[in-house]
Amino acid sequence: MLTNSHKKKVTPLVGGLVVAAAAMAGKYGIEAFQVWKTRPRLVRVRKHYQGGFQPVMTRREAALILGVREHAAAEKVKEAHRRVMTANHPDAGGSDYLASKINEAKDHLMGQTKGSTSAF
């Protein structure tokens, strides 16, 4: 058992160890923060087209509007068109202009653009 004289000697030792541990934790915390600040920034990928239409629609713009890849299969394009059109249809409170752009995007990705030589 420790006597009072031993307790007085142990208490400053424990206090010193606590202060040293806190100082080391702070040092490593500051170093970790410095490394975190200098890390390369990741580019965030946008899930939705942010707006603004080009004068002549490109495959990239059409794919962004529908939320598919530029070379997506026809079934994926049709499914995406149905999903986006359901959310933006004029009968459901959507815009006529936006609906026409969605249809144009589907036609563009399906190869049915207005400049096509096909009779259909």
Q: What is the pLDDT of residues 87-110, one digit of tens each?
A: 989 898 888 998 999 999 999 999
For residue 66, the tally of other CB atoms under 10 A from its CB is 25
Contact 109, 103 (CB under 8 A): no
Average pLDDT score over the chain: 83
Whole-model pTM: value is: 0.53
Between 11-20, 46-55, 69-78, 84-93, the lowest mean confidence (pLDDT) is in: 46-55
The residue type found at 116 is: S
> Environment class of residue 60 by beta-carbon count within 10 Å: exposed (0-12), middle (13-18) or buried (19+)?
exposed
